[in-house]
Structure 1
Amino acid sequence: MLQNDVKQDIVGRLIDKEWIFFGQVNNIGGRASCQDDFMTFRIMRSSQFETWDEEVLLSYERDLKQAEAAGRNPVELKYAYMMQETSPEYFERELAPFLPVIEEETKRIAEQIIEYEMAWYHKVREKYPYFTGLGRPEQESEDGRMTSVFVYLRGELYTYSTETLNRYLEMVKKKEKAGSNLIRETFENTAKKYGYRDLDTAEREGVHSASKIAAEGI
């Protein structure tokens, strides 16, 4: 089996496992429509996972298996940690007493990763404002319905084990040294999965379509 096939198998396993966790998340307002949209979920998660080194993927897979064995839902924990920023009063009153304590080492490594990834995100946002604007905002939305890139990233990293975070940080540093941009790679994957030739084409055609619709008053 080719190395790329092995990686795709791992990615597939991660998506299947996360999808189960995602479906079990209890939302305050009831089940969300996105919990029944597997196609979008698969596109978003695979676009991210396919940029990771195999060692990081395997380490994260171990995290998911350990979480399942311990009766934890890491996807639910991710959203809970995000609420420390989006709904601090609710978080402190209803969630914090029941959540696993985040180790200082986890916070330290996560913040290093965030620094790299947000710098990459800003570069991509500057060059591809239309396409990146279709996803999560850089800042929290006023109505609180869309969590920012920064808050989402931190919430997710806080659910990773120290081993996975260390491997992830090594990967990030390696990509930075090579002049790569992990965030751009993710958006590139997303554009292709939605049928575009590449990210440049998605940006160009998307802006053109939006401008045409606006001009025609549709």
Structure 2
Amino acid sequence: METNHNREELIHDVIERELAMFLNTKNMGGTASCQENPDMFRRWRWMIFSVLSDEYIGSYNDDLIEAERVGRNFMTEKYARMDDLIPCVSPNMDKVRKITATERVWMQELLQEFPLLFPQSLARFDMYFPAEMETLSERSLDLYQECVDSALSRGENLARKRYSNFYARMGLGTLEELEARRREKLHQS
């Protein structure tokens, strides 16, 4: 029980550090609409961390603390990378590509299994995910890879698990139930 409490506190600390960076990210067109909804930011980021190891989350927290110390803003870097405004910031692009390839397969499986719940393409993932991975330290990349390898060895899809956790936490039901509701709504139209 104590471990879960400490884990949730650590996730909370990481998200609050990220949120401070996110809210300080300057956008070309002014404040982005997503910056006006910090609660949704917290929910989405919790979803990401909900399937990752305590070791990874702790290492990433260390990355955030170090970034704060030296004046880096991971969110600014991530969005600048997405728009190809700055050069790569990763210490190891081979690891970034390897992790991204597996996560992309998992997202593709999720989109195929639940096409009504996830009607989007992989274009956003292809832009967003590698840019996020590029901000990680070498140690955090290694620990993220361990999370991926562990999931693969158990036959798990971390993307599916993330969204299952998210919708359960929101009280919306399972992925299967949500897909069925969308299918039913589609047939009623």
Say whether the fold is shared (TM-score over 0.5).
Answer: yes
> Offset at 1:3?
1.6
- Separation in 2 of the partners of 1:17 and 1:35? 14
Structure 1 partner of 2:107: 121
- Separation in 1 of the partners of 2:96 and 2:170? 30
Structure 2 partner of 1:111: 97
**2:121 aligned partner, one-letter code:** P
Which stretch has the larger CA shift, 169-178 or 201-210? 201-210
Q: Which structure 2 residue ranges, 5 or more long, are not aligned?
A: none
Residues 56-205 of structure 1: pairs in structure 2 closer than 5 A? 56-84=56-84, 91=85, 96=86, 102-103=89-90, 105-133=91-119, 137-139=121-123, 148-205=124-181
SS in 2 for 1:131: coil
- Separation in 2 of the partners of 1:22 and 1:211? 40
SS in 1 for 2:71: coil
Against the structure 1 CA distance between its residues 193 and 209, is the aligned structure 2 distance closer, same or farther, given a 3 Å change threshold? farther
Q: Which structure 1 residue ranges, 5 or more long, are not aligned?
A: 85-90, 140-147
- Separation in 2 of the partners of 1:14 and 1:131? 28
> Offset at 1:210?
4.6
RMSD value over aligned CA atoms?
1.6
> Offset at 1:102?
2.9
- Separation in 1 of the partners of 2:89 and 2:44? 26
Structure 1 partner of 2:50: 50
> Offset at 1:5?
1.5
**2:149 aligned partner, one-letter code:** K
> Offset at 1:206?
2.8
> Offset at 1:211?
4.4
SS in 2 for 1:188: helix
Query: What is the number of residues matched between the two proteins?
Result: 189
Percent identity reads 26
Give deviations 1:127-151, integer Å, cap 9, x for gaps.
0112223xx6312xxxxxxxx1111
- Separation in 1 of the partners of 2:174 and 2:52? 19
